[in-house]
Amino acid sequence: MTAKHAAREITAFLASDRAETLCVMGPWGVGKTFAWKQYLAQAARKSRITRNYAYVSLFGLNSLDELRHALYENTVPASDAGAAATWDTLASVWANAKTGVRKIRSALGVASGMVTTGGVNFGAVGELIARSSFLLVRDQIICLDDLERAGEGLAAKDVLGLISFLKEERNCSVALLLNDGALKPSEREDMQRLLEKVIDVSLAFVPTPAEAARIALQDGADGVAQLRDHVEALEITNIRVIRKIRVLTGKVLEILAGKPKEIIDRAMTTVALAGWSVFEPDRAPSQEFLKSFDPLVDELVREPGDGGAGAAQNITWRRQLARLGFSYPDELDRIIFDGAARGYFDEDAILTLAGELQVELKAM
């Protein structure tokens, strides 16, 4: 499902008052969490969210009790959806709660009595308070993320059981963001069976390169429009990779500030390609391939009838590089490739080579 269709489903989910469950699946880095937060922010700005909201990452959580408490402490009013929970938002949730507060006050009274009578087990008191606080988690929207990275003490089947409970008994709408590709083959079949029982709507988040560029690069800063074009040309859909390339782009733009547009444009093309090679090595051509790339020689040495996966991949890369307008890397390109691999650029070397190119351009 493209990001456009996913956005429509998620937006409808956020605006609905019905208790329902939604699972958004996709591989690491494709931008599920990033996109979810964007759609949430858009819905909040348009006042389409009318219930309390909680976002909880399951990363490192080791028990259902930890998850229950995390849901309570991360709940914010609808007006603050997407913002971090604070003492003020917690106080607001308490002030607006209509169900469960009397029971919580009763539990707090019991806990107080346990403390004052002596011989108290403070762990038991804390557990009592945490469990009582969970009574406030109802009639709200919940997003659970990183199920595949939960601690060993928190089983997926228990999380899905809690999701079902929240929907059926607490009138909550629960979204689960899941990297199903991170599950072991033996786990995937069991997970699919459990999801079919618990989840009402399941969708795969698979943005096109153009959608990924729009999601990851929304501002109008220098170089962003050009970088969007490069992302589409290289068919990059990994949001994290795009944003990492954006950081490299900013560094090179800063170094080349004031240089002719022709030099900056060429450098931006190269840094996008270099970042792709570094951050997505399973899909992108290697640095060695790029540094020695010559489209004419590559075409001449390719034997007629060459086949196989390697040949097909080479053809794909040549097509992408042609769309990007990249050929015959020069010394400036190679310096940028080296800098992207290191994570920092040799400013003096870049400026020296850019200066030489500037002289050549003036002489033309």
Per residue in 90-100, pLDDT (tens digit) is 778 877 765 54
The two structure tokens encoding residue 292: 């020695």
Domains and CATH numbers, the chain: 3-99+138-207 (3.40.50.300), 210-363 (no CATH)
Written as one string, the DSSP assignment of 256-308 is TTTS-HHHHHHHHHHHHHHHHHHH-TTTSPPHHHHHT--HHHHHHHSPTT--H
pLDDT at 128: 53
pLDDT value for 199? 94
The pLDDT assigned to 114 comes to 45
90 vs 215: which has the higher pLDDT: 215
Cβ atoms of 39 and 125 within 8 Å: the answer is no
pLDDT, tens digit, for every residue of 196-207?
999 999 999 989
* Residue 179 token pair: 């990297």
The Cα 291–Cα 274 span in angstroms is 10
pLDDT tens-digit series, residues 132-162: 688 889 999 999 999 988 998 998 889 999 9
- The whole model's pTM is what? 0.78
User: Is the model more confident about 183 or about 79?
Assistant: 79
